[in-house]
Amino acid sequence: MNEFSQVVERDPSAVAQPRGDKATQATRPVTLLPAVDIVEDSSGVTLWADLPGVTRDKLQVSVHDGSLHIEAEAVVPTPTGLRVQHAEMRQPHFARAFALSPDLDSTQIGAQLQDGVLKLTIPRREEARPRRITVNVT
């Protein structure tokens, strides 16, 4: 984590936890807001989200009611034969949501995950793209 990382606590009602178990309460799940870079041009928006340790099967990207949702869980393996003495985060959970402009075509979102970086490309709707108008001289 660096000075740009943000940490938020997960809503306890969203996670099933046994009541009265102090060990479970002490290690309450933490949700990290991943660092995200967003670039916009005339063809659409490209979004890069830092998700270290996340694999494809632990990543969920969805669009609902004009919002883009990213949720992921990192897997931090423990080498065979070793025991964890101290761990600040065993399974980091990442979550982030963005409101999408109606100018963007959410049905055409492209997603790629490589080396812990999620790249989403969201094109503009054809009718929302800038276009050049030809002027005729009469």
Across 78-85, average pLDDT: 84
Domain for residue 119, yes or no? Answer: yes
Across 94-116, average pLDDT: 94
Domain for residue 76, yes or no? Answer: yes
pLDDT surpassing 80 at residue 42: yes
Across 59-63, average pLDDT: 96
Higher model confidence: residue 37 or residue 26? 37
Q: Which domain holds residue 102?
A: 29-125
pLDDT at res. 133: 83
Instruction: Encode the chain in three state secondary structure.
Output: CCCCCEEEECCHHHCCCCCCCHHHHHCCCEEEECCEEEEEECCEEEEEEECCCEEEEEEEEEEECCEEEEEEEECCCCCCCCCCCCCCCCCCEEEEEEECCCCECHHHCEEEEECCEEEEEEEECHHHCCCCCCCCCC
Instruction: Fill in the amino acid letter for 97.
Output: A
pLDDT surpassing 50 at residue 22: no
Higher model confidence: residue 120 or residue 3? 120
Number of domains the chain is built from: 1
Domain for residue 39, yes or no? Answer: yes
